[in-house]
Amino acid sequence: MPITRKSQGEIELMREAGRILAITHHELSKEVKAGMTTKDVDRLGETIIRDHGCVPSFLNYCGYPASICVSVNDEVVHGIPNDKRIIQDGDIVSLDAGVIYKGYHSDAARTLMIGEVSKEAEKLVQVTRQSFFEGLKYAKAGYHLSDIGRAIQDYVETNGFSVVRDLVGHGIGKKLHEKPNVPNFVNGKKGPRLKAGMTLAVEPMVNAGAYDVEWMDDDWTVVTCDGSLSAHYENTILITEGEPVILSKAEGIEL
């Protein structure tokens, strides 16, 4: 299946999906606190999405049993919410979510710092977020896909952290995951040349220690092999002839 380039009408639908997802993340960032269970977070996120007339992208996707991926500390991605895991002061909590609006998806992730976190955790979250924006500088028509990953990896490693190799970003549109894969690192391939109308989910996953990860017995939750902290930051973007456009944003809400 070729890489799809979206029409203006499709872009507007994805923009609305992204706006609602940005609101969801903003509301969650205000509400998530120590003492909540990860299932509390999932229930709240799903309620917000449905209250806006949308459907959670992740719920039952390939069997995933929740609407919000809630990953704590050494959990890189795809943490399954439950009523036993209680969020603690000092945790970092990565929230990954998607929204379907009139058949089109948005996908975005944020890592929240709960209460007083360590200096290392604070730096990790900040570097992960900024690495996305370093990659975004190369998300323009004419560059190659690998230019995004190179910029992300260079920034992360300059700051003393590592980029996860076993997981990547992706194209997005009518399907949550479309071509192409979007690595956050250099893998020896230039990848396709970027063209206006492409829509991508760019999502650096950054570890405080080594980049090696493993899957837990639930076949979803990915954790760092060395037990180090991990952070995640993601937006859905549109490639244009000029500057890239972040679709997973809403007016008045900081990215």
Q: How far apart are CA 236 and CA 169, in angstroms?
A: 10
> Are 170 and 200 in contact, with CB atoms under 8 Å apart?
yes
Q: How far apart are CA 131 and CA 155, in angstroms?
A: 6
Q: Place 1 in a pLDDT band, splitting at 50, 70 and 90.
A: low
> Are 236 and 245 in contact, with CB atoms under 8 Å apart?
no
Q: How far is CA 200 from CA 13, 19, 171, in A?
A: 15, 16, 4
Q: How far apart are CA 88 and CA 84, in angstroms?
A: 12
Sheet with 162-163, edge to edge strand ranges: 162-163, 205-207, 230-232
Residue 188's pLDDT is 87
The pLDDT tens digits of the residues spanning 115-152 come to 999 999 999 999 999 999 999 999 999 999 999 999 99
The pLDDT tens digits of the residues spanning 90-111 come to 999 999 999 999 999 999 999 9
CA 109 to chain centre: 3
Q: How far is CA 47 from CA 24, 27, 122, 220, 226, in A?
A: 9, 11, 29, 23, 35
> What rounded mean pLDDT belongs to the chain?
98
Q: Is the pTM of this model over 0.95?
A: yes
The pLDDT tens digits of the residues spanning 145-200 come to 999 999 999 999 999 999 999 999 999 999 999 999 999 999 888 999 999 999 99
The pLDDT tens digits of the residues spanning 31-52 come to 999 999 999 999 999 999 999 9
Domains of the chain, residue spans: 8-246
Residue 52's pLDDT is 98
CATH architecture of 8-246: Alpha-Beta Complex (3.90)
Using the structure block, give the residue that is written with the tokens 């028509």.
141
Q: How far apart are CA 235 and CA 125, in angstroms?
A: 15
Q: Please compute, for residue 214, the number of CA atoms within 13 A of its CA located in the half-sphere on the CB side.
A: 6
